[in-house]
Amino acid sequence: MAIEAEDGRVLVVQLGMTGSMSIDQGRAPSGMQARHRHVLWALEASSPPCDAPPSAAPRPIEGPWTLAFRDPRRFGGLTPYATLHDLRTAWSQLGPDALGIRSRALAANLLRTGRPIKAALLDQSVIAGVGNIYADEALFKSRINPLRPANRLQATEVTRLAGALRTILSKAAAAGGSTLQDYFDALGNPGSAVQLHAVYGRAGQPCVACGLPLSSCLVTARTTTFCAHCQDLST
Ligand SMILES: [Zn+2]
């Protein structure tokens, strides 16, 4: 996420796994919201419209309102850029946005690597915006074993995978994200996408499709949950 300031500078907010931005009004945040706050901004009203008298200075919003960056596990971070152009240069290293990924673009990038498909999906230069939860969910939905070499997938499988990524990420965003422990949106509300998880966090429990117990293993040091029956490695 990028915040563009009026003077052209840009601040990139990387939430990492447990980071969040929260807005609080009029009261000091307490409990979970008050812990692990690394940066705090005091907010004031935006500049007056151009036709306002010159004396009209920005007025504080009734409050005080604050914007806070919290990051309990410190996988996130804040990165300033002098201009929007600098930001675009940095983001040009990223792969296509997973929310709108098309099968042709995904196939072209997967062809470049023989790593397991799970590892390729987590590589932000291959596809941007997929983390551990949604990589597992998309591979399950498209019935692809996470250990399959990325450059060996059939065209029909890549099409299924691209469709699964778009669908799962859209549904998860609409549900406010996955609150596992302490993820909250800017107003302190948890997300309910955990209820949509078919495999993530469910190792040993029955597969929602075939009823057999779900398996788990490590791929690039990340816990990976899948159904060895529905996501056959020998396919
Ligand atoms: Zn299954």
Angle between helices 155-174 and 132-141 (to 10 degrees): 130
Q: Which of 33-42, 67-76, 106-115, 169-178 has the highest mean pLDDT?
A: 106-115
**Residue numbers of the domain that contains 147:** 98-226
* H-helix or E-strand spanning residue 37: strand 37-43
Share of the chain above pLDDT 70, in %: 86
Cα of 139 from ligand 1 centre, angstroms? 12
Cα of 227 from ligand 1 centre, angstroms? 5
Q: What is the mean pLDDT of residues 101-128?
A: 97
Cα of 226 from ligand 1 centre, angstroms? 8
- Domain boundary at 60, 91, 122, which? 91
Which residue type is seen at 154?
A: Q
pLDDT beyond 60 at 137: yes
Domain total for the chain? 2
pLDDT beyond 80 at 51: no
- Domain boundary at 63, 91, 119, which? 91
Render pLDDT for 160-193 as a digit per residue (tens, 0 to 9): 999 999 999 999 888 877 776 666 777 777 777 7
User: d(Cα 63, Cα 55) in Å, to the nearest integer?
Assistant: 22
Asked whether residue 186 falls in the same domain as residue 130, the answer is: yes
Cα of 174 from ligand 1 centre, angstroms? 26
Cα of 199 from ligand 1 centre, angstroms? 10
Cβ neighbours of residue 139 under 8 Å, at least 6 residues apart?
A: 117, 118, 121, 145, 146, 161, 164, 226, 231
On whether the pTM is more than 0.85, the answer is no
The better pLDDT of the pair 69, 183 is held by 69
Cα of 154 from ligand 1 centre, angstroms? 20
- For residue 18, name the pLDDT band (cuts at 50, 70, 90): confident
pLDDT beyond 70 at 92: yes
Cα of 207 from ligand 1 centre, angstroms? 5
Q: What is the mean pLDDT of residues 53-65?
A: 57
- CATH number, domain of 127, equals 1.10.8.50
User: d(Cα 23, Cα 64) in Å, to the nearest integer?
Assistant: 10
- Domain boundary at 91, 112, 144, which? 91
> What is residue 66's predicted lDDT score, i.e. its pLDDT?
84
- For residue 155, name the pLDDT band (cuts at 50, 70, 90): very high
Instruction: Please list all protein residues whose beta carbon sits less than 5 angstroms from ligand 1, which is an ion.
Output: 207, 209-210, 227, 229-230
Cα of 135 from ligand 1 centre, angstroms? 17
> What is residue 52's predicted lDDT score, i.e. its pLDDT?
57
Q: Would residue 234 count as lying in a domain?
A: no
